[in-house]
Structure 1
Amino acid sequence: SLEDSARLAARIESLVMEEIGEDELDSLLTNVGVTFVDFTTIKFESNYIQLIVDLEKPRPHGFIERWITPLVSLRFSREGTRERDTLTVINAIRARLQTVPGIQRLSILRTQGGPAGSDVEIGILGEDIEVLRGHGDRLVRFLRQLPGVYDVRQDLEPGKLEYHYTLNERGRQLGLTQRLLAEAVRTGFQGRTVVHVTREDHRVPVRLIYPRQVRSEGAALETLQIVLPTGKVVYLGDVAEITMSRGANVVKRRDMQRMATVTAEVDPAVVTAIEVSDRVQREFGALFDDMPGYGMVFLGEKRKAGHSIQDMLRAMVIALAVIFFILAALFKSLLDPLVVMVAIPFGIIGVIFGHWALGFHLQFLSLVGFLALAGIVVNDSLILVDFAKRLRDQGWDRLEAMVEAGRVRTRPILLTSITTFLGVSPLIFFSTGQAAFLAPMAVSLGFGLLFATGLILIGIPCFYMLADDLRRMVTARLAPREQ
């Protein structure tokens, strides 16, 4: 009942406040009987309990947060008071609430941007709900034993108690049908409008229905009176077989097949969603080969994002090929474009360092940022090499031309890199809420560009000299053959 849920909510609320503490808790809102899934979806049920916890800002940790962030933001007051990170707090609350009696299902989510949905979402297709529920329970048990996997649940969990009535042989002999039984039950428990009366210029419907006390008792179903075509009255329990079971909370379909969905969240510090999905595929992939009409599919936007990494790698190869052919047409050489494109691997060092320094994991958006970085670092090295080649066309020595190119073009290259880094720095250091998921892309772009710029100014002249030596050596060897 709603009263029982309110008492349980008070117990949960006190445990959460004991675990978090005043230095970490900013606000706590408890909803009983209703849960807000998002801004457009609201669910009502007497056994729903939802706690919305807002934590204080974390205390700065590390060199970047302590010194770089205040310097860039011009805010030198350290407002954060929370020592633990969000994931640590969530794990502590989960461990505290798992032993509370009365909680049937526990799910702890945190606000985040990026791909929607659970980290792991697996669908089992088939026709028989009991078979689907059995395979779903087996998959749930398997996921719960994996380290770093939590909040495992399936949507075919048993629902409310239901009464099923089926016409028996005696009922058929009396001339009854399943439809007549359904109409009688519907009239008794849901009511039927039999007449309308007028009251103060308003038509008021009069509905015939059993009293609330009768409708709230399961035994009243057996004593429900059924009127026979002859006018006689019999009880429902005499003309129908009545059974009681639990129904499904929800029934989903995919491609015209019933589907049970199993979802789970993962701790990225322990395991990734792709690794969990791969283990499920190895464990259950061959299970449905001998079961015609049944199968398993992997769902969820995050799974699609993982698959998109392979597509992004193919796109990167195509982009590098296009850059090479454009530079080859510009320089009318196949060697000079390689010298310019040598700057691209320089950015990988900055990408890895930036993710390590700020505590990010390499992910899909990191690859997107690196793809954008490739075009920028090529532009910096192109400025340097193109200027040196122009000087050589004017008769300069190659060493003097490269030194002069470095002296003249260093300032434009540095200004381009620094202004680009400052442009993405808000996403790197101050991204919060829905914009936080873009931070890895900005880290790849910003830190990769800074490291690549320094290495371009030092390394590109060396590679240019080596490429020129290689060109001279090949030309010298081919010249005698042509003679």
Structure 2
Amino acid sequence: MEEESSMILTIKQQELLRYGISPSQIISQLERVLGNYKISELKQFAIITPIVLETDQKAFAELLKTAKVRNSEGKSYALRNFVEYEWGNRLKKISADVSGSYFSINLTEDVVQPNSEELISDIDQWANQNSLIQKISGRYFSDQENLKELVFILFISVVLLYFILSAQFESFWQPLIVIFTLPFGIMGAMIVLWIGGSSINIMSAIGMVVMLGIMVNDAILKVDTMNRNLKALEKKDKESVYEAVFSAGKIRLKPILMTSITTLLALSPVLLSGGLGAELQKPLVLAVMGGLTIGTFTALYFVPLVYFQVQKF
């Protein structure tokens, strides 16, 4: 909160009633004494700055002595009889939105995380001491809730993916090969996000979901191709499995590389452009590029290797 040194004026209501003077007269006279003569305004969008002509600098107490105010009977009285003043610190500005006025607090990097119980407790204590009602909200907290929902949806999707692939491959272990590629993609996305100076937020989480979809598709096609080759050989010995894996590698190499390279090239212009839109999309692009780079090597090497090691027995 920004504060500034201010003069705090208090109008004596009882004295006004005793002498028959209205508060508007006092305010009007104070504006004259303080030199608040408005000439014009400077308008810039929604900001209006008044242009004020100041009077000569004199002792404020002397001004209150010399300034007079008249009541309804025409009698004049010194302004100091109706005003009390003191110096103190007051808020420089008040922020407000549709929910009402609020006080902003700037958190520095050396404080605890905004979602910790310690900081929330400190804010509650500060609000109670100042007779305020506090509500902690903002983009950070809404993003945290959205991330939790996204993680839960991703978990449900992985479970459904396992059951669907189990029915398609007619196997309980082959879908695990596909699912075990997902952590590698997430790890690659996090590494690239860290290198690029981005954090895990809604945009990067969406990028991970997109990247995992591409990775799963490559792994599924690779496993399906190896199953078809092995079935065509009508043998399941070690040599037949090796031949099926080797043949599937040659068949699926170009499609996997083309999918990955075209996706990476299509996203690369976002990293080279500037502006607000590019900054918002940068975490998404980094997550997709990092995960897809690791995912490509996973589909080309990890999936065939695990398939061969399990299927040969």
TM-score by length of 2: 0.74
How do 1:417-456 and structure 2 match up within 5 A? 417-428=260-271, 430-434=272-276, 435-456=278-299
Alignment of 1:367-446 (within 5 A): 367-398=205-236, 399=241, 400-428=243-271, 430-434=272-276, 435-446=278-289
1: CA distance between counterparts of 2:130 and 2:73?
Answer: 49
In structure 1, what is the equivalent of residue 105 of structure 2? 262
Q: Are 1:226 and 2:69 an aligned pair?
A: yes
Question: Displacement of 1:214 after TM fit?
Answer: 6.6
Tell me whether 1:182 sits opposite 2:27 in the alignment.
Answer: yes
Number of equivalenced pairs: 289
Retained in 2: the 8 A contact 1:214–1:220?
no
Change (3 A) 1:222 1:307: farther
Cα distance in 2 for partners of 1:420, 1:264 equals: 39
> Structure 2 CA distance, aligned partners of 1:299 and 1:395?
62
Return the offset for 1:256.
6.5
Q: Per the alignment, in what secondary structure is the counterpart of residue 226 of structure 1?
A: strand
**Is the 2:112–2:119 Cα contact (8 Å) retained in structure 1?**
no
**1:348 matched to 2:169:** no
- Structure (1/2) with the larger helix percentage: 2
SS in 2 for 1:176: coil
Confirm or deny: 8 A CA contact 1:167 1:177 kept in the other structure: no
Aligned amino acid, residue 463 of structure 1: V
Give CA-to-partner distance per residue, 1:102-131, whole Å, 9 cap, x none.
xxxxxxxxxxxxxxxxxxxxxxxxxxxxxx
Instruction: Give unpaired runs (5+ residues) of structure 1.
Output: 1-153, 193-210, 471-483
Higher deviation after alignment, 227-236 or 243-252: 243-252
Question: Secondary structure at the residue paired with 1:244?
Answer: strand
- Of all paired residues, the percent bearing the same amino acid is 21
1:176 alignment partner AA? I
Tell me what 1:163 maps to: 9
Corresponding residue for residue 458 of structure 1 = 301
Aligned mates of 2:26, 2:128 — CA distance in 1: 41
CA contact (8 A) 1:350 1:447 kept: yes
Amino acid at match of 2:10: H
- Per-residue CA deviations over 1:371-393 (Å, capped at 9, x if unaligned) read 22110111111111112223344
State the alpha-carbon separation in 1 of the partners of residues 8 and 144 from structure 2.
42
Give the one of 294, 297, 318 matched to 2:156.
318
Structure 2 CA distance for partners of 1:179 and 1:213, relative to 1, 3 Å: closer
Q: Name 1:76's counterpart in structure 2.
A: none
390-399 or 250-259, larger mean C-alpha shift: 250-259
The answer as to 2:205 corresponding to 1:360 is no
The alpha-carbon distance between structure 1 residues 294 and 413, as it changes in their structure 2 partners (threshold 3 A), is same
- Secondary structure at the aligned position of 1:163 is classed as strand
More strand as a share of residues: 1
Partner of 2:48: none
CA distance in 2, matches of 1:424, 1:226: 73
* 2:93 matched residue in structure 1: 250
Alignment of 1:30-41 (within 5 A): none
Within the alignment, does 1:336 sit opposite 2:174 as a pair? Answer: yes
SS of alignment partner, residue 252 of structure 2: helix
Higher relative contact order structure (alpha carbons within 8 Å, sequence separation ≥ 6): 2
- Normalised by the length of structure 1, the TM-score is 0.51
* 2:82 matches 1:236: no
The aligned residue for residue 17 of structure 1 is none
